[in-house]
Structure 1
Amino acid sequence: MVRSIEMIRTRCEDGLLLLARLLLSLIFIHEAITLSTGFAAAAAAMSKVGVPAYAMALTIVLQLGAGLLLALGWHARLGALALGLFCLATAFGFHSDFTTRNELLHFEKDLAIAGGMLVIVVRGAGAWSLDRLWGRRMIPAGRLTLEDR
């Protein structure tokens, strides 16, 4: 009885980790596609705040690449760490004008997404991932050490 309850709990956790990975990655994959299909207009808008076109191109690569890593569960911890750091940089670099309600909302959203990414960094992708499918050694939650990276 206890074993079957544990199996159900584990399957639910893995399903929720998959859902969390997909939801977290969606915003980055969508934004990368949107920026790349409207690159000229986006580059013009970003240049007004001092972001050069090459930095925007790197942002597209980061969002798409790390977003796919996260969604697929292949080196998901690395993808989540990259996107989490990106969110923190974006929050503090571009959304720190708290006198504007919209900027404060974007700041808080970026912090919340970064928090979700850090949970994935600590917990991993779960059983429903390419890492598990391809037999990569999975690190139990709370057991991540420098040797494991």
Structure 2
Amino acid sequence: MTPTELAEKLHARDVVLLAGRLLLSLIFVHEGLQLSTHFEGAQKAMAALGVGTPLLVATILLQLGAGLSVALGILARLGAVGLGLFCLMTASLFHTNFASQNELLHFEKDLAIAGGMFILALSGAGRLSVDRMLVGFAKGTKIVPPVEQHLSMDETSLPV
């Protein structure tokens, strides 16, 4: 398949979903890598906030695992829900000093990212995802499946 033929088969919705997934996951993958590569410093900083080592390790695993899940489109709905809930908890536990403009900004940012993650959880990863390719291979069909309807068109079942 030539690049032109591939471009014709891709729909703007799928490209936008891929770009959105990559943008949403970037902050989590980056932060997970930073925490894991600077573990001792992160451990001390988290201890000062009352967060123990087991929770720090769980945070790193969630950020890396769910972040890559969203980016690659492997169980992206599950990863998006996990990261959305993580953002809500982070906002409500660590960014509640609204007298500080910086804390208010982080609170609002976490809420916005959670909203994006919940929308992704409803829409699914789209056709440009590892899950979609695996389904195509498992069925022995082409990688590009039939066009999905949007949820706003009264679809009752959620696409993968």
The TM-score, its normalising length taken from structure 2, stands at 0.81
Q: Which amino acid aligns with 1:95?
A: H
The 5-angstrom pairing of residues 4-19 of structure 1 reads 11-19=11-19
Percent identity between matched residues is: 52
Matched, 1:100 2:100: yes
Q: Which residue of 1 aligns with 2:35?
A: 35
Structure 2: tracts of 5 or more residues without a match: 1-7, 140-144
Counterpart CA distance in 2 for 1:108 and 1:58 is 24
Q: Which residue of 1 aligns with 2:142?
A: none
Q: Which residue of 1 aligns with 2:132?
A: 132
Q: Which residue of 2 aligns with 1:5?
A: none
Runs of 4+ with deviation above 2 angstroms: 136-146
Q: Which residue of 1 aligns with 2:72?
A: 72
Q: Which amino acid aligns with 2:47?
A: S
Deviations 1:3-52 (A, max 9, x none): xxxxx7x7101000000000000100000000001110111011111000
Structure 1: tracts of 5 or more residues without a match: 1-7
**1:32 to 1:134, Cα distance in 2 relative to 1, 3 A:** same
**1:43 to 1:126, Cα distance in 2 relative to 1, 3 A:** same
Q: Which amino acid aligns with 1:89?
A: M
**1:85 to 1:130, Cα distance in 2 relative to 1, 3 A:** same
Residue 120 of structure 1: CA displacement? Answer: 0.4
**1:144 to 1:84, Cα distance in 2 relative to 1, 3 A:** farther
Counterpart CA distance in 2 for 1:133 and 1:84 is 25
**CA radius of gyration, larger in:** 2
Q: Do the aligned residues in 2 keep the contact of 1:122 with 1:144 (CA within 8 Å)?
A: no
Deviations 1:23-82 (A, max 9, x none): 000100000000001110111011111000110010000000000110010110000000
Residue 141 of structure 1: CA displacement? Answer: 4.4
Q: Which residue of 1 aligns with 2:3?
A: none
Per the alignment, in what secondary structure is the counterpart of residue 51 of structure 2? coil
Q: Which residue of 1 aligns with 2:46?
A: 46
> How many residues of Structure 1 are paired with residues of Structure 2 in the alignment?
142
The TM-score, its normalising length taken from structure 1, stands at 0.86
